[in-house]
Each structure stands twice: as C-alpha cells, then as structure tokens.
A and B are shown apart, each in its own frame.
Chain A
Amino acid sequence: DTGVSQNPRHKITKRGQNVTFRCDPISEHNRLYWYRQTLGQGPEFLTYFQNEAQLEKSRLLSDRFSAERPKGSFSTLEIQRTEQGDSAMYLCASSLGQGISGANVLTFGAGSRLTVL
C-alpha cells in the first residue's frame, strides 16, 4: 500500500481519557500534516512537520494536543484529557515538498474518527 495510512479508523472514548492516533505517510514524502474536520466544515490545520521537525502549530491548538514525528517517518497525535468538543475526524496528509512554490500537494489518509462520550 503506497498511500497514507491512519489508525485506528474509529475511536470511541470517555471524556477525560487520553487517545493517540498514528499516521504512516507515503514513504518518500518529507512533509506531514495533521488536520481536524467536523461535519460540514473544511479541514482545520493543526500542525505540520518537515522531516522530524515540527515547523508550525495552530494557535487554536490546545496544550492537550501534542504531535511527534520521530525519525521523520510515522507520526502520532495524542490528545490528553479528551473533551466532547474534541469529537471530529482527524486527518493526516503528506506531501513531497519541493520549495516555496513547488509542488506541495497533499495526499490525505482516510482519517481517524474520534467520538468522545
């Protein structure tokens, strides 16, 4: 499989629990993005990595959210002390960055749907 892989696909958890999502990007892609999407809305940027470096993080992102990309390969997104408002689809995307105006086309994974009860 050469696409972007995310797991788990679905996660139901109780409020206050921690959850972790994993993303395996396309192997030759050096940039990895996390987005959150709720019903009827566009993907909302959370953070992105270039190789292992986390270069940008949304100001809207709570301190309960943390993302890592050790060794510049797969990435994890952890949400601590989940709240009902965290319920959403968490999308991972990767791209082969080639400069400022070069191709930065995102290939999305199927997403991880989080439901917080």
Chain B
Amino acid sequence: GQQVMQIPQYQHVQEGEDFTTYCNSSTTLSNIQWYKQRPGGHPVFLIQLVKSGEVKKQKRLTFQFGEAKKNSSLHITATQTTDVGTYFCAGTRDSGAGSYQLTFGKGTKLSVIP
C-alpha cells in the first residue's frame, strides 16, 4: 500500500530560526496537501500542490512539490511561537482510477523556544 514518510519526527528551534520538514511517498502522487495540527486540536488545511515542481508561498511558509511528484517540503522562515504544532503532509496516489484516499504522514512536531 501507499506509504508517506516524514522527517524529522520532532524539531526544536529557537524563535527566529528557520524550520524545514520533508515528505516522501512510496508512490507517485496526483497531489499533496499540508495540514497543521495545534496541540489538542484537529488537522487544519494549509495548502495543496498539484503540478510537478510547483512552489507556493504563504507569508513565511514555502511549499514545494518534487519534479517526480513523490516528495514535498515545507519551509518556515523565522519561526514564531504561533508556528508551534504538528505539520502533516498527505498525498493522494496517482492511480488513474480516481481514488480519493488521502494518506497522511506521521507528521513533524515543531517546538519553538521563545
């Protein structure tokens, strides 16, 4: 079955430092999404990437989708305490059969030290 792996599992950064999490899929993806889950909360959608090599920015967050559509990254510039949470990537397998199953990675838990 499809597997989505994320590294690192945990990241502790000083406020103001940058942060990057990486996501790799065992299969080619039709699209990849990123979600953020605050402590005690539920996952909240951040962004979706569809095209090979796509790069999208949201303020201090930069998202990339690999050329082979099997990997992705999220980079946060100058972290703030409000960035604390777990960041999940989630992919839909490009099976051509119209599957809409979204497989989540295990997430990267970000802690920001003020």
Whole-angstrom CA separation of A108 from B31 in the bound complex: 19
Closest to A41 in B: B106
Q: Which residues of A (26-59) have their CB < 8 Å from a CB of B?
A: 31, 33, 35, 40-45, 48, 50, 55-56, 59
Stretch from B44-52, B55-63, B77-85 that touches the partner: B44-52
Is B101 a contact of A106 with CB atoms below 8 Å? no
Contact sample, A vs B, 29 pairs, CB 8 Å cutoff: A31-B100, A35-B104, A40-B106, A40-B109, A41-B107, A42-B4, A42-B6, A42-B88, A42-B106, A43-B88, A43-B90, A43-B104, A44-B104, A48-B101, A50-B100, A56-B99, A56-B100, A91-B42, A91-B43, A97-B100, A101-B30, A101-B31, A104-B100, A105-B48, A106-B102, A107-B45, A108-B44, A109-B42, A111-B42
Please count how many residues in chain A sit with their CB below 8 Å of the partner chain's CB atoms: 28
Shortest CB-to-CB span from A41 to chain B, Å, is: 6
Whole-angstrom CA separation of A50 from B102 in the bound complex: 14
**Consensus secondary structure, chain B interface:** strand
Residues of B within 8 A of A (CB): 1, 4, 6, 30-31, 33, 35, 41-45, 48, 50, 88, 90, 92, 98-107, 109
